[in-house]
Amino acid sequence: MYFLDRSSLKIEKKLLLFVEDCEVNAELAERLRADGYTVRLQCLHRLDRKKLASFRPNLVLIDFEAPSLESLASCKTIRTGFRGPILMLAEQANEMFQVLGLESGADDFLIKPVPITLLQAKVRALLRRDEEACHQQKKVIQLGELTIDAGRREVWCHGENILLTAREFDLLWCLAENAQSILSRDKIHQILYRSEYNGFDRSIDIYISRIRQKIGDDPLNPRYLKTIRGSGYLLLDNRLT
């Protein structure tokens, strides 16, 4: 398994753009370039993992016309070696497909057609959050057999390195900093997205489920992540239990 090292990148942000039908989205690419990003285009049908690794992007944007299993598979492929934010776009994507996209490793999902100004704002928000996390003060939180290293953005559980997406790590770190305290969905949403919770977004539940699966936590008998019905989530400190 390989990982893209973004620590040696220049200040200029990189953006890798995938287009499923191999047609260049000229307007989108130019608007992003006008924002100061370097835009590289890669055909979704010819996804080359080695080439992707050589690009070392700050953010990956997967843009495809209609929901497809190929797009989900591509997202999983990218996520196996990329720790940064992934933004997916698709037309006519129902709720289930959006859920599958997030479970495949995407950090956010937008339904096309989407205003370019909104897309630009999403890209800026994801990059800003990732940049802040990368510059976060080096700190390690140890909760029993669960170790969370903010400096390296690494998670270890029972001696095994756990690969989390950028958003999953941010969520786990948020809970770790408030271990033994219940955090509501509203509070978590404000911390992760810097916006009010709309009451419908299921992304936090999906991230919690993925984190549980990756650290081997049983939702029916949790050792770490506990759901407090009607209140929110609680990260347990096993040193105290």
CB 122, CB 100: distance < 8 Å: no
How far apart are alpha carbons 216 and 203 in whole angstroms? Answer: 20
Q: Are residues 128 and 181 in the same domain?
A: no
Q: What is the DSSP string of 59-109?
A: EEEEE-SS--HHHHHHHHHHHTT--S-EEEEEES--HHHHHHHHHTT-SEE
Give residue 21's pLDDT: 55
pLDDT of residue 239: 58
Q: Who wins on pLDDT, 79 or 9?
A: 79
Instruction: Work out how many domains the chain is built from and give that number.
Output: 2
Of 103, 134, 165, which residue constitutes the final position of a domain?
Answer: 134
Average pLDDT taken over every residue of the chain: 81
* Mean local confidence (pLDDT), 26-30: 79
Average pLDDT over residues 139-144: 86
pLDDT at 211 exceeding the cut of 90: yes
Of residues 193 and 86, more confidently modeled: 86
Q: Which domain holds residue 105?
A: 14-134
Q: Which domain CATH number covers 109?
A: 3.40.50.2300
pTM of the model: 0.57
Mean pLDDT of all residues in 25-44: 81
Amino acid at 31: R
Find out whether 75 and 106 touch, Cβ atoms under 8 Å.
yes
Confidence band for 140, pLDDT divided at 50, 70 and 90:
confident
